[in-house]
Structure formats: C-alpha cells, structure tokens
Amino acid sequence: MSIGFWQIAIVVVLVVLLFGRGKISSLMGDVAKGIKSFKKGMKDPVQDQSDTTSSSDQSNEEENSDKK
C-alpha cells in the first residue's frame, strides 16, 4: 500500500486549515534560518577554535612577559 496523490492532498489541506498560510510561511522561514545557522555553526567552530587557540596563546605569552 503506497501513499497516493489524494492522501497527500488531504494532509496538505488539513495542515493549511489548521495553521493558516501565514503561520506556515513564518514557520518555514524559521526552519530556513535554523538550517543556515546550523551550517554556519558547523563551519565556524573549526576556524574559531584555531583562532581562539592562537589568540589565547598570544595573550598567555603577553601575560607571562609582563610578569617577568
């Protein structure tokens, strides 16, 4: 038993009736923002971690040179 066109159409109509077009479009916009921030988060930590490590090493060196 497979899902046919009419079953999908009925589900879509019910979702539109329950939530309304405005709510669905804002929900899809929120989903898109979430996906973008997830992708950005997957790229940035590797770069940020190396940047943070090098900047923290530099600040540690500066603190150590000030103490001497």
28 alpha-carbon distance from chain centroid: 13
Amino acid letter for position 25: S
List the structure tokens of 62.
């500066």
pLDDT, tens digit only, all 68 positions of the chain: 788 999 999 998 998 888 888 888 888 899 999 999 999 888 876 554 455 555 555 555 555 555 55
**Structural contact between residues 19 and 27, judged by C-beta atoms closer than 8 angstroms:** yes
> pTM of this prediction?
0.43
